[in-house]
Amino acid sequence: MHRNYTARSLACRSCFLLVCLAGAFAFAQTPRSHGWGPPPGKTVVPPMPAAPGTPSGPTLPVEVIGSWWTSLKNSDDFPFLALFTFHADGTFVGATQGDVCCGGNSTAQHGAWTPKGHKVAMAFYHLDYDPDTGELLDYARIEFDIQLSGPDAWSGTWKAWDYDPDGHLIGTDNGTAQGARILPRQ
């Protein structure tokens, strides 16, 4: 039995070495080694342009970049929660409590944000679909105007437009929101 364990151990070590060699070879074949990709020291993500009328200089307020615990209310004063993530390249991803609507399920929200004076303007879409068939039921565009109230807080308003699968407007809503930064463990 000891001999069998040793044979298995040697076989595992041999496989590990092969995987390491394959990884080293793959790393050596990066796009940069072939002349593709950005020059050394350059960023892969292009900078986000400033919104029209925004003074030149840094294009995105660093304060909003990160993940946020978000409390929202709609026009009927109905409260719900969401998680928002603002990426440094101006993209946005979010998830809303339950993500269930209109007899179906909703996808995560995907969108973009940009500075607007001393505020942040954001827009995103999500799709509502039948969980059994995957059929698109409707989709929504949501726009936010956000005012930063410190490095770890913001408040704002939002408007939503719901469309059927053919793009016809079927409903609207609006409301308020407050965000609190999700901070790392201290």
What is the residue-wise DSSP string for 69-97?
EEEEEETT--EEEEEEEE-TTSEEEEEES
Read off the pTM.
0.65
Q: Output the pLDDT for position 37.
A: 37
Per-residue pLDDT of the chain (186 residues; tens, 9 = 90+): 444 434 443 344 343 333 333 333 333 333 333 343 334 443 333 333 444 444 443 445 568 899 999 999 999 998 889 999 999 999 999 998 875 555 568 899 999 999 886 789 999 999 999 888 999 999 999 999 999 988 899 999 999 999 999 999 999 999 999 999 999 988
- Give the Cβ contact number of residue 65 at 10 Å: 15
- pLDDT for 104 equals 60
> How far is residue 32 from each of residues 28, 44, 94, 103, measured CA to CA in Å?
9, 12, 33, 49
**β-strands 100-101, 104-106 pairing:** antiparallel
pLDDT for residue 103 = 53
Burial annotation 24-57 (CB, 10 A radius, 16+ → b, else e): eeeeeeeeeeeeeeeeeeeeeeeebebeeeeeee
Bridge partners of 73, per DSSP, are 79, 176
